[in-house]
Structure 1
């Protein structure tokens, strides 16, 4: 593992594998290098790219300097891209896709972008309540498990997936990063139609054929709103596709050929 210092002095842990053009992977809510699909995806892409995975602030080996602001996470991504050589392809998953879009809109040196099911509802009114504040309150009260469950229920994770979540072997890792779920809850609403229209790099938006109509529709709408967006549906499960399927699609899109 290596580290890079973000603009506000926060240490961000990252690592890279492979050789070729730089490709930075941006995790979804709760994900970091020790948990989630990105490390496995990086291994599948390492034959064509120098793949960089990093721990978003407050997770894994990265620091977390208060007060939180979405802009700090954009600066973290900028620091990682700089450490990766100064320019990079970027792939983001879910709220990590929203963060990648904010980075591209802010002018970060992202040459091409791919997004897996960005949870951006362009045609719907804002969600009632303040999910980020609710997560903050639960964490402050020491109810980290409740914060995790409340987040997943609030964003529409199907009950059959959340049932028994607390008994899952990975649940302690989710509890450990429960405070960062408030960060993701602030990032996604920060992406507007104007944000999308300002992203001028070629962008691939992917969804799983097994996701619900809401997620599939969001992906299609985002691809349509992007000036240079294209859309692809892959085989998969709810809110996810296999890393083999995704790696092949990303390699084709970013110009590396089949992996």
Structure 2
């Protein structure tokens, strides 16, 4: 499987487990607000904590609930903002076409709400989004990423670009189950039997609900485009790249490539962790607290 396939499969397993849904974290004071993006899209944003602003962004099949436990861990030291990426959760999508620029504009709107500057953390495709936003010059002070699923191993097959078109067609037809299944099967590489098990589980509704946003995950990771080194070139802010020593070799290699491409970037390897680190946020929170402080 490609780096993209492995990462999003593990994210999907995280959702099925139900470990990162609302109600599974200690009570905290959360302010819920709506932020309007450049094209009029309304984004649902949760804000907790006090201190310098830090924005957390999840990957495919994720919404703000899946990073809520990490936000709670960071809240004693920072003002933490989490949001539903457009087309998922309580955020809508007013655009007429899928473009990475839409999601970059969304992050810009959340940063503006945070006071005009912020640091940011991204997991999986959310990590790629944060790096892309920094590359495009958004006012991000520090960037931390966990296992961005770039295609870093030329010996592994790349996801065909036409999967994006087929995915869009299913979303346009209102076939959320079909879109989620296509993504899992061809973008993630989940076997048919495993997908059948997911569809029979209580987590499937959560995953299918995110189907309209899956084309954005494919576009932002775009495994058919460039090397990690090319795609992060020009980022001029401090970067922390993290992966777990139990993750796939492809994801480890992609994370290492990001750190190697950026002068001064810090690389951390978390012992005993894999791509589902959001289910166990305490150790990651300690690393992020040190970096963002």
TM-score (norm 1): 0.90
Q: Is 1:250 aligned to 2:280, yes or no?
A: no
Deviation, structure 1 residue 165: 1.3
CA deviation digits over 1:155-199, x for unaligned, max 9? Answer: 445659756211221210111111211111001126753331211
- Residue in structure 2 matched with residue 26 of structure 1 by the alignment: 57
Moved over 4 A (4+): 157-163
Once residues 182 and 200 of structure 1 are traced to their aligned partners in structure 2, the CA distance between those partners, rounded to angstroms, is: 28
Once residues 276 and 69 of structure 2 are traced to their aligned partners in structure 1, the CA distance between those partners, rounded to angstroms, is: 14
CA deviation digits over 1:82-102, x for unaligned, max 9? Answer: 101111110001000111011
- Residue in structure 2 matched with residue 6 of structure 1 by the alignment: 37
Q: Which of 145, 152, 159 is equivalent to 1:115? A: 145
Point out the more displaced range, 116-125 or 12-21.
116-125
C-alpha RMSD of the superposition: 2.0
SS at match of 2:64: coil
Q: Is 1:185 aligned to 2:218, yes or no?
A: yes
Q: Does the CA contact (< 8 Å) of 1:235 and 1:245 recur in 2?
A: no
Deviation, structure 1 residue 81: 0.4
- Residue in structure 1 matched with residue 93 of structure 2 by the alignment: 64
Q: Structure 1 pair 129/75, CA: closer, same or farther in 2 (3 Å)? A: closer
Once residues 133 and 281 of structure 2 are traced to their aligned partners in structure 1, the CA distance between those partners, rounded to angstroms, is: 24
TM-score (norm 2): 0.80
Q: Structure 1 pair 156/11, CA: closer, same or farther in 2 (3 Å)? A: closer
Once residues 42 and 173 of structure 2 are traced to their aligned partners in structure 1, the CA distance between those partners, rounded to angstroms, is: 27
- Residue in structure 1 matched with residue 182 of structure 2 by the alignment: 150
- Residue in structure 2 matched with residue 50 of structure 1 by the alignment: 79
Once residues 141 and 282 of structure 2 are traced to their aligned partners in structure 1, the CA distance between those partners, rounded to angstroms, is: 23
Once residues 208 and 157 of structure 1 are traced to their aligned partners in structure 2, the CA distance between those partners, rounded to angstroms, is: 21
Deviation, structure 1 residue 252: 1.1
Once residues 101 and 253 of structure 2 are traced to their aligned partners in structure 1, the CA distance between those partners, rounded to angstroms, is: 27
Structure with greater contact order relative to length (CA < 8 Å, sep ≥ 6): 2
Point out the more displaced range, 156-165 or 183-192.
156-165
Point out the more displaced range, 153-162 or 203-212.
153-162
Q: Does the CA contact (< 8 Å) of 1:149 and 1:162 recur in 2?
A: yes
Q: Is 1:234 aligned to 2:270, yes or no?
A: yes
Structure 2, gaps ≥5 residues long:
1-31
Q: How many residues align?
A: 253
Structure 1, gaps ≥5 residues long:
none
Once residues 81 and 141 of structure 1 are traced to their aligned partners in structure 2, the CA distance between those partners, rounded to angstroms, is: 34
